[in-house]
Structure formats: structure tokens, C-alpha cells
Structure 1
């Protein structure tokens, strides 16, 4: 049986001049998991160390955000890039300086535009107000000053007022007189504005007392200023878009390089070191160890010391303070099912890899519960679209093989049952042939769709129902048995011989389970009469399963054999006896749900088919499409959950007595 990937612990002594190159090499290989022995306090102190590349990366990300560009980075792109050099740092600084200049220009124009818009809106709100102009100063937040100032001093006055006020020339563009201006500011700034205006010889203009509202030339001047400011702001936005377009490739390259550089420095800060030498230890798959060490030796021109340890030679593993990380190695199809394993827990290092069994069981159980040739083809299509990245839905692309597997199994079961998108007419000949193979002889039953009401009327419904449930319980017996076998060999490999032979999931529990099942089949099918040997075997295996703890301790050399006294042993054994019987019974009966869901799926298909037949053609097509879509999505989810539940509680519970640690290699990632 396939086991978890053999691992080795590698210790590297690297000179300071080579540490960056070595970490970059390990990050790109993506198969080296650093061994962490640092305390929480040391991790906090290390996180405060300088990371120049990390600071530049943060600024580049801010620049990317300002330019409103998305920079997708693939693993291939990370692998093809390298940490930043002097040229990269110079290019990064140049881009940051140019972006900062654009940002300041945008901020300045944005604020100017807001002030002018406020002034225009305020002026328009009082343009038709039938009160003297001189009273407007008391009615609004806007302070307006209209007057003359020497044109020579105009630019200097604008600079002095800065962002506190809007200065609008009121003279006609063709006129030689450029001295007439309007100054608008917020109410709270009017006193400081008046003081500034006096410095430049501003002379206020008298507005006729009987003049009402806002003068037209004032409104025209404000609107002209607003138009000019808006154009200037739009030009900056266009400049931003052009800059982002022309510098996209360079920005992407720099983001990737400084991502790598910042993670190298972060990892370097976490290593044990002296002034000249860095020490790094980590786990690596055995099959990659030799080649990687040769590459590291070449990379550093021999300036590296390497030591390789078997897990059995590592003190922290021997004393139980550290678990060897677990890596599973599979092809593309089986590897898609790995997350089902690790979502429950990691197997222990050196134990049997259950992933191939999970892949087979999940595929078969799903197909039995969701048998429809057409709906299965939909799952296959979804899997192909996910694999080709035509259909993008988060990180679901890695589950494309699962969709294809369950699609194939559903299609096969649907073909055998004669069901195509809930229609039993298209594959009727196939359905009739299958029913004939199972002993159905009534001509009427052979002509009727499988699981239809007419079929049940023609044949005794109890027989096929019990046949379906019997098949699924038998499948559950196989799955439970494989789990028990895996547990037995796992315990032997861990040298836990007591637990391998005794206890509920040990060999004694397995023998009790198997013999009781065979015993029941012999009585039901072969009319076997129970004898003394049967009861002796059942009683002995049940006793060793329920009262197995002292035998486990005896075989494993643990003392005392009866740890908490005979009374505690007796009470615990009785409870365990009840649990052994109830657990194996429930684990077997639980697989009845597989048959129940298969029947429910067939009934749903029959309902959809009947509704389609009763409706006129256009409505029938709509009912068929909507009904099948609901079944594919909702029932597909329910069936998947039930299959996972059966794997977790019936299969994994047999051998997942203790979980290990998943192998998580150091690799560069772009966030």
C-alpha cells in the first residue's frame, strides 16, 4: 500500500554572502519546509527588523492602487523572476517619484476643483434671490469680494491666498484691463482673506444698493474658472491612465521582484545566525534531497555545509515534541481529492495514504446517489471548463478532476438506469435490458421506466428496494473493512502492536465485525443453524474488543497493566462493549442513505418528467431546463455533503486516531 512521502531533515550552514541566493533558490523550488523552533517573543522581535524591500513593495502597491491597475501574477511569473538588484531599485524609485508628482498634482487640482464647485453652487443658489447683493454676505457660508487689484500683483496675490480662496478674473479676455477680480472664500476665512487683500492694494467695487442677486459677470467668471479647473483635472486623470498603460509591464516586474525580495529578507531575519554564518534547517522530500543538495553546492561554489538526517535520527521527533510533516504524492486526478483528507486532518508520517481510497469511494458513492446520464455530462463539461480555465470560479480550478470523475460515474449509473435529464424514454431499451438482467420478467414492468409508479405496480416493490439497500450496505461493509485494514497496518508500522491487535478498531474488532456479517449472511441465505463455535468466536472477539485496554498495555510493555483498578476496567469494558456493537451497527446502517438518495433522485426525475409531459411544449421545455438545473445544483450539493459525511464518520474514524502535520513548503506568493 502507498504510504506518505519519505522525508529528510536538512541542516544548512550558509555564509552571509550566500544566504539571499540560497533562500531564493529554496523559495523557487517550493519543496523545503523550514523547521521552526522560535518562541513567540523571538518572532515578534524578528518581525520588527528592517525589511527595505518590503517597504519599497508597500510603496509600489500604493502606487498600483493610485493608478487603479490590477496586476495578476501567476506562479510561473514568480518562478521566472528574481530578487531586485540595483537597477530594479533605481527604476522603482523613479516610478515612485513620478507617481508622487502625479498624486500631488491630482490632490491640488481636486481640492481646487472642489472649492470652485462650492463657489459656483453657492453663487447659483443666490443668483435669483431678490435681496440686495450687499446682504448676501450675511445669508451664506460664502464670502465674496469684488474689486480691483494691480495686474502686476495678481499672480503674487493668488500665490499668497493659496488654497484659502478662489480668485476669478472678471475682465473680458479681449480687454486690456485685467485688474477686475472676484475673490470667494468660506465664511470662516473672510477676516484673513481681507487682511491679505489689503496687502496687495485690493480696492473693493461698489455694488448699487438697488442691485439684487448675483451679477452676471460674477457667475460667468466662476463658471469659466470651473470649466478650466475641470479640464486641468481631466488632463491629469488622462495622464494617470497613460502612465499606467506605458509603465504596466515595468510595474508588474518590480512588484514581483520586490515581493520575492521582501519574503527573502523576512525569512532571513528569522534564521539563527552569527555575524558571518546563517543556519537553516528544514524538511524536504527524500526523492528531491540529493539533487537539491548538489544544486545548492553549485550555487554557492562549495561555500555551504550540508547535513541530512533521517526522521528517526532527529531528537525532537524521537521525544515526540515534533511531528514529521506529511506530503502526499499523486497524479493530477487523485491529488484533487487531497483537500478532503487534510480538511479532516493530516495522516501521521509513515502511515498508509488514504487518498486513492477516498477518490474511488467518493466517485462511486456519488454516482450511485446521482445517477443520470445527461446530468452527469453536465458535471463532465463543468470539469473540462474549469480545467481549461474557461470557467473561473475562485480556486475551484484545482477540483476540475473531481467534477469529471463524478460526472463519469453519474453518467454510467444514469446509463444503466436508463435516465437522461430525468427522461426515461430515450434510454428505455437500456433500462429494460438492465431490469431483465436483475430478474424482472413481467413484460409490463420491462416496458415501464425504472422506479415509475407503473413499475412498482407490476413488480413487488419490496424486492427491488431491499436489493438497492442491500447493495449499498454491502458497499459500506467494504469501505468499513478497508478502514480497519488500514488502521491495522498503520499500528504495525508505528510499532503499536497492542492497539493493532486489540480494541474496537484493532484486529479483534475487525474480526468481530467480519464474523458477525458472515454469520448473518449464512443464517439468511444458507439457512445455517448457529452452533457453539459461532458464539465462542463472536464472544471472544467482542471481549477482546471491549476489554482490550489491559491487553494493549501488556503487549506494548506499559505498566501497570490494569491502570485504574479492576472496577474501572469492568465499568469501562461494559460501556465499550455497548459502543462496539452500536458503532459497527450504525456504521453499516448509515450506508442505507446511499440507496435512499438514489431512490429520491429517481423520484425527482420522475416528477420532472411527469410535469413536462403534462405541460404544453414551450412550457415543458422550460420546466425541464429549470427542474434539471435545480436538481444538478441543489441535489448535487446535498449528495456531495452526504458522501463526505460517510467518508469522515464511517471511513476515517477507523484509522484517524491521531493526526499528523501537513507539509507546507516555503514558496514565494504574491498577495
Structure 2
């Protein structure tokens, strides 16, 4: 069985003048994980610590100001900033900041002019001198601003006690008049509605026409100037877009190099770098570094067991799973649960096979499966993008193929059971009497169909037996590889537990299918294997040389053994019966298809097409999600639980990521 990738710890002693070149090489290589996490350091922690990070942040502000779409990944060969890049970056930053300053000033000017023009318009219809109105002994006047939406409510509130007059077209300026006796009530009402009084000159009669025209012209000029500046910014963005994106990429690389460099162990002249690399890369990496630094870099390589922190248990060796494109697309299912321990069996190929098979069994429809297949192909070709799900394109292709094959067996094609009848009759005719379906899931009044349905459920339990067995075997191999011989032999999912599980299954099959009567040797094999498993902990301590064997005494060991017997029987029973859900979901899928087909038949032809499209769409989306969740659950609880008693450390190498500089 394939194991996790062999790793090596490499120690590098790098001269100060070579550190940037070495870090660039390692980041571009993407196969070096620092022994201590250095990549989480801030990329913009100050110009004196990370000058490239500071420039990158300013370039990001420039890109935003110019409305240039952001990059999601590097589009050119990785490089670090040069002297020319720095000069060009400063030039672009200064130009855009100047443009931005001019645009802000123009916007502020437009705001002021627009406000002045609105104020002037508001008083343009006041033809009587304000001082003449205010001098009336019986009259109280108030001029000011109010929310236009509140004008009618204010007018209704004051009623006959005061007169409210709009002074502008927009209703935001008003004149309120009341008797001297009612002035306090008027002021209270105005305050309630958010009135803001304006200071008006005593001889004010209104705004002369020439002033209004002048203000209007100023407003037009301000709009024109702002438009010109915005057009200038747009032209600048078009002419400098390529150069700006280039600068963002090189300064992203530079900022990440500075971020790592600032956290390395160093003296005045030398930097020390320690990290893990895959063993298959170590020889080439040492050769490349030697050429890159002209032999000035000191390199030492260690096997995992030679590393003190690993031998003492303080550090776990990072785990890399190396596969082709198809199998690697299933890796996230492993790491979302936990990383295998270093040196143990790589379960990814098993997960890929089991996930594909289980999904196909539960979601058997040739048409709906073909939709997943086409979707996966389009995602792989980057024609369709689904928020980062493109990395699972090969998973979609795999489940599409398995669902299509299962659909051909069950005769389902977009919930229609008649389209594939010719195909089914041709295939079954090759082996005997032609039938409308190769594998009939839907039960009918025919006893034969009921029998076939129960046989199918038996088949799903057999699939579960295979998956459980693989998990047990992986655990036994892992425990021996980790030097835990006692646990490998006497553990619940060790050799004795496996013998109990396998023998019970074989015994049940013999009794159910072949009429076997239990014999003494059956009880002996099952009893002995269960006894050894129940008292697994004392036997483990005995084999591993740990003393005392009965750590907490005989009575405690007996109680623990009783609990362990219950646990072993219940867990293996549930692990096996749990796979009945595979058959149940397959049957439920067939029933849903039958319901859709019946609904199509009872509505008019045009409506039937619509019902078929909507029904199949709902099944593909909702049931597809439900089936995927159930498959993941079966993998986690029935397969992974057999050997994932302890998780390792995922290999996360240092590699340049475009956005990391601004996310830090």
C-alpha cells in the first residue's frame, strides 16, 4: 500500500547577500515548509521592516482608485522588484495621488457651488424686504432649512396658528409667520420638525437674477472640471494598467520575501533556514541552491528520526500525499477530517474509489449522472466557474460516470423508465431472457422483484463489509509501522477485533444462505477473539513491555473489558448496518424518479416537459447534495474511524500567493 511521502529536514546557512534569491527560489518551488511557521508574519509591518510591503499596499490603493480589476493569481513569471520597478512604482503612485487630490478638490468645489446655487434659488422669490416684514409689530418671522419630506406635516401641525411658505422649488427652505402671541408655539413646532434657522440680512429682498446666473455657470464649470479629471483618471488607468499589474505582482513577491526574512534566525552576515521538503526533491533542491549561491550556502539534511524534536514527540513530521490529478482531487476529504500520521498508509486512493462507487449506487440515473459528467468537464476546461469548486472538477466527472453507469443498470434516464428499455433488453438478452431493466430496484407485486430488492440491500452491506475491512487492515498496518505492536494485534480495530468481525460476518452468511448450524468451533473462534479484544489494553501493555500489565488492578480491567465487549459488538454492528442507508437512498432515488414520471404523465404534454425539467433539476441539486453528505458521513464514521485514532500535521509549503501580502 502507498504511504505518505517520505520527508527530509533541511538546514540552510545562507549569506545575507543571497537570502532574497534563496527565498525566491523556495517560494517559487512550493515544496519547502519552514520548521517554524514564518509565513504568517505581517507583510506590511512598517517601511523599515518591509519596504516592498509598504509599496505593495500603496499600489493596491492606486489600483482601487483607478477601478482596475484585481488579479486572483500571478499572471507572469515570478520576479522580485528591480530598481526600474521601484522608480516606475513611485512615479505611478505620485501621479495617481495627484490625480486623486485634484478629483477630491473638484468634488468639494462642485458640492459647495451646488449648495450655494440651491440656497440662492430658495430665496429668489422673496421680493419684499425681510426687515420690512420683521418690523411688523404683530408678526413673528422665521426663515430656515427643513427636510422637504416634513413640509406637509409641519404645515398640518401648525394649522391656522401660522403661515408656512416655501422659498425654493425643492421645499428645503421655508418662511414661517405667526402672531407675536403664538411665537413660542411656532418655535416649538419648528424645533420638533428639525427646523434650522438661517441668519438673514435685514435688507435682504431676494437673489438678483445675475447672481443666480453666475452661480449656475459656476456649477456647470465645476461639473465639467470634475468630468475632465475623471476622464483623465480613466485614460491613465488604461495606459498604465499593464505596468501597474506587473508592479503589483513583483511587489507581492518582494513583500512576502521580506515578511519571511524578518523572522529568520540570523547574525550580521548569515541567515539560518530550517524546513521540511519531500525526499524526492531534496537532491535537486541542494543542487539548485548550490548553483544559485555559487557554493556559498551550507546545507545539511536529516532523516525524520534524526531530528531531536521529532524523536521527543514535540514535533510531527509534515504529511504530503502525492497523487495524480484524479486521486488528488479527493485529498481535501482526507484533510478536512485530519491528516494521516507520517509514515502511515495513504488512504486517498481508497476514498476516491469508495466515494465514487457509493455516490453512483445512491444516485443512479443515466441522464442526471451525465449532467454531473458534463458539468465536471466544463469545470475542468474552466468554461464554468463555481466559486472555487473547479478544483473538484474530476470529482464531478467521477461521480457523473458512476451515476450514469448505475442509471444504465436501473434503466433510469432523467426519471424516465422507458427510454433505456431497448438497451436493457439487449444487454439482458445476451445472458438469457430479455428484461426491461438490468437491475430492478422498484418493488412490485412480483415476489421475484421483492427478492431482488433484498438482494440489493445485501449487496450494499457487502460493500460496507469491504470498506470496513479496508479500514481495519489500514489500521493494523499503521500500528505496526508506528511500532505499536500491541495495539496492532489486540486493538478493537486490530487483528483480534478484525478476526471477530470477519468471522461473525462469515458465520452469519453461512447460517442465512447455507443453513449452517452453529458448531462448537464457531463459538470458540468468536469467543477467543472477543476475549482478547476485550482485554486488549492489558495484552497491549504485555506485548509492548509496559509494566504493570494491569495498570489499575484486576477488577478495573474486568469492568473495562465488559464495556469494551459492548463497544466492540455495538460498533461493528452499527458500522455494518449503517450501509443499509446506501440501498435506502438508491431506492428513494428510484421512487423520486417514479413520482416525477407519474406527474409528467398526468399533465398536458407542454406542462409535462416543464414538470420534468423542474423535477430533475430539484433532484440533481437537492438530492445530489444529500447523497454527497451521506457518502462523506459513511467515509468519516465507518471508514476513517477505523484508523484515524491520531491525526498528523498537513504539509503546507511556503509558496507565493498573490493576495497574501494584503491579507496578512
Q: Which of the residues 335, 343, 351 maps onto 2:336? A: 343
Shift of 1:532: 1.1
Find the counterpart in structure 1 of residue 62 from structure 2: 63
Find the counterpart in structure 2 of residue 8 from structure 1: 8
Find the counterpart in structure 1 of residue 267 from structure 2: 274
Q: How many residues align?
A: 601
Partners of 2:441 and 2:493 lie apart in 1 by: 42
Find the counterpart in structure 1 of residue 472 from structure 2: 484
Find the counterpart in structure 1 of residue 598 from structure 2: 610
Q: Which of the residues 98, 107, 112 maps onto 1:110? A: 107
Find the counterpart in structure 2 of residue 586 from structure 1: 574
Shift of 1:437: 9.1
Partners of 2:211 and 2:42 lie apart in 1 by: 62
Shift of 1:53: 0.8
Find the counterpart in structure 1 of residue 53 from structure 2: 54
Q: Which of the residues 118, 121, 127 maps onto 1:121? A: 118
Q: Which of the residues 360, 365, 382 maps onto 1:367? A: 360
Find the counterpart in structure 1 of residue 488 from structure 2: 500
Partners of 1:452 and 1:554 lie apart in 2 by: 52
Find the counterpart in structure 2 of residue 466 from structure 1: 454
Shift of 1:126: 3.1
Contact 1:11 1:282 (8 Å CA) reproduced: yes
Q: Which of the residues 418, 421, 426 maps onto 2:419? A: 426
Partners of 2:430 and 2:578 lie apart in 1 by: 28
Contact 1:46 1:270 (8 Å CA) reproduced: no
TM-score by length of 1: 0.85
* Change in CA separation of 1:299 and 1:189 when aligned onto 2, cut-off 3 Å: farther
2:400 equivalent to 1:400: no
Partners of 1:416 and 1:391 lie apart in 2 by: 30
Contact 1:424 1:450 (8 Å CA) reproduced: no
Shift of 1:464: 2.3
2:314 equivalent to 1:317: no
TM-score by length of 2: 0.86
Shift of 1:461: 4.8
* Change in CA separation of 1:513 and 1:131 when aligned onto 2, cut-off 3 Å: farther
Partners of 1:64 and 1:46 lie apart in 2 by: 17
Find the counterpart in structure 1 of residue 551 from structure 2: 563
Q: What are the ranges of 5 or more consecutive residues in structure 1 without an aligned counterpart?
A: 143-186, 192-203
Shift of 1:449: 10
* Change in CA separation of 1:609 and 1:85 when aligned onto 2, cut-off 3 Å: same
Shift of 1:385: 1.0
Shift of 1:46: 12
Match of 1:389, SS? coil
Find the counterpart in structure 2 of residue 548 from structure 1: 536
Give CA deviations for 1:453-474 in whole Å, capped at 9, x if unaligned. Answer: 7x60234553122111100000
Give CA deviations for 1:113-159 in whole Å, capped at 9, x if unaligned. Answer: 111111122222333356546789972479xxxxxxxxxxxxxxxxx
Contact 1:368 1:413 (8 Å CA) reproduced: yes
Find the counterpart in structure 2 of residue 154 from structure 1: none
2:138 equivalent to 1:139: no
Partners of 1:310 and 1:447 lie apart in 2 by: 62
Shift of 1:76: 5.1
Partners of 2:482 and 2:649 lie apart in 1 by: 16
Find the counterpart in structure 2 of residue 635 from structure 1: 623
Shift of 1:65: 1.1
Contact 1:53 1:262 (8 Å CA) reproduced: yes
Partners of 1:356 and 1:449 lie apart in 2 by: 29
Equivalent residues in 2 for 1:122-271, closer than 5 Å:
122-129=119-126, 131-132=128-129, 139-140=143-144, 211=205, 213-271=206-264
Find the counterpart in structure 1 of residue 138 from structure 2: none
Shift of 1:431: 3.8
Find the counterpart in structure 2 of residue 409 from structure 1: 402
Partners of 2:392 and 2:439 lie apart in 1 by: 32
Shift of 1:525: 1.4
Match of 1:17, SS? helix
Partners of 1:492 and 1:622 lie apart in 2 by: 59
* Change in CA separation of 1:263 and 1:307 when aligned onto 2, cut-off 3 Å: same
2:352 equivalent to 1:353: no
